[in-house]
Amino acid sequence: EAGVAQSPRYKIIEKRQSVAFWCNPISGHATLYWYQQILGQGPKLLIQFQNNGVVDDSQLPKDRFSAERLKGVDSTLKIQPAKLEDSAVYLCASSLDLGGTGDEQYFGPGTRLTVT
Amino acid sequence: AQTVTQSQPEMSVQEAETVTLSCTYDTSESNYYLFWYKQPPSRQMILVIRQEAYKQQNATENRFSVNFQKAAKSFSLKISDSQLGDTAMYFCAFMILRFGNEKLTFGTGTRLTIIP
């Protein structure tokens, strides 16, 4: 079974530029998550999709971050414009989501973003 | 709001020894799961072990076991016969069971180093 794929693995941009990250979840997984992991901290949920609908985006800075999940499969997370404090690893995860069962989340390798 | 606290930023033990990582959490919910995730250097995060809050029996997975104390809101991870491959960041995480909105809240992690 192929795992969660993310690209690019690394990205360096200047502040005020824009950047996009891509995620392909495990086939058949209904739920997709984007996390931000700042150095020295645990991952923080940015947005959660179930199929192609947003379940939770309460911690997404909507003035600069946006995300979509096309046809309930792949997802793209965009930052525009980037700030220095956006430097972090962006993790994508997916789960089968059987509902009420505490499904395991499978994580991708992450995209390390450096904003200079 | 739920919080997860890991009070040991770093730990190191000799190979083959036993080590215990601490985790406490705070919630008013009664129906939840607790997880330990492992993040090896430059590799993706994987699930180590999971505990359902309604189960009194502590979960075990080979060399990994937990000590779940619900009243004390404590969830420690014990690694027996530690191996070099156990070197990683370990994150304790909490999930409230709500159909269609089951998100993980992570602690800040413990960096574990196994010394040859």
Pairing of strands B10-14, B110-115: parallel
Q: Do the Cβ atoms of A102 and B93 come within 8 Å?
A: no
pLDDT in tens, A4-40: 999 999 999 999 999 999 999 999 998 999 999 999 8
CA dihedral A12→A14→A15→A19, nearest 10 degrees, is -50
Give me A56's structure tokens. Answer: 């939770």
Kindly tell me if the per-residue pLDDT of A101 is higher than 90. Answer: no
- Considering only CB atoms, which chain B residues are within 8 Å of A100? 97-99, 102
What does the alpha-carbon distance between residue A110 and residue A89 come to, in Å, rounded to a whole number? 6
Give me A22's structure tokens. Answer: 């891509």
Q: Do the Cβ atoms of A48 and B50 come within 8 Å?
A: no
Region A40-66 average pLDDT: 92
Are A113 and A19 in contact, with CB atoms under 8 Å apart? yes
The predicted pLDDT at position A72 comes to 83
Higher-confidence residue of A104 and B25: namely B25
Pairing of strands A5-7, A19-24: antiparallel
The predicted pLDDT at position A1 comes to 65
Of B45, B103, B108, the CB nearest to A107: B45
pLDDT in tens, B46-63: 999 999 998 889 999 999
Q: Do the Cβ atoms of B52 and A102 come within 8 Å?
A: yes
What does the alpha-carbon distance between residue B61 and residue A95 come to, in Å, rounded to a whole number? 21
pLDDT in tens, B22-81: 999 998 888 899 999 999 988 899 999 999 998 889 999 999 999 999 999 999 999 999
- Considering only CB atoms, which chain A residues are within 8 Å of B47? 104-105
For residue A53, give the nearest of A36, A76, A30, A35 by alpha carbon: A30
- Considering only CB atoms, which chain B residues are within 8 Å of A91? 45
The predicted pLDDT at position A102 comes to 74
Selection from A48-57, A77-86, A92-101, B96-105 with the highest mean pLDDT = A77-86
Are A74 and A23 in contact, with CB atoms under 8 Å apart? yes
- Considering only CB atoms, which chain B residues are within 8 Å of A33? 103-104
For residue A8, give the nearest of A90, A95, A72 by alpha carbon: A90
Report the Cα B53 to chain-centroid distance in Å: 14
The predicted pLDDT at position B67 comes to 97
What does the alpha-carbon distance between residue A21 and residue A92 come to, in Å, rounded to a whole number? 10
Kindly tell me if the per-residue pLDDT of A99 is higher than 80. Answer: no
A57 touches chain B (CB under 8 A): no
The predicted pLDDT at position A104 comes to 87
Distances (CA, A) of B95 to A28, A31, B105: 22, 15, 6
- Phi, psi (rounded to 5 degrees) for B83: -120, 160
Cβ neighbourhood burial of A37 (10 Å; 0-12, 13-18, 19+): buried
pLDDT in tens, B82-95: 999 999 999 999 99
Higher-confidence residue of B103 and A56: namely A56
The predicted pLDDT at position A45 comes to 94
**Chain A: closest CA distance from residue B93 (Å):** 9
Q: Do the Cβ atoms of A105 and B47 come within 8 Å?
A: yes
Interface test with chain A among B3, B102, B105, B106, by most A beta carbons within 10 Å: B102
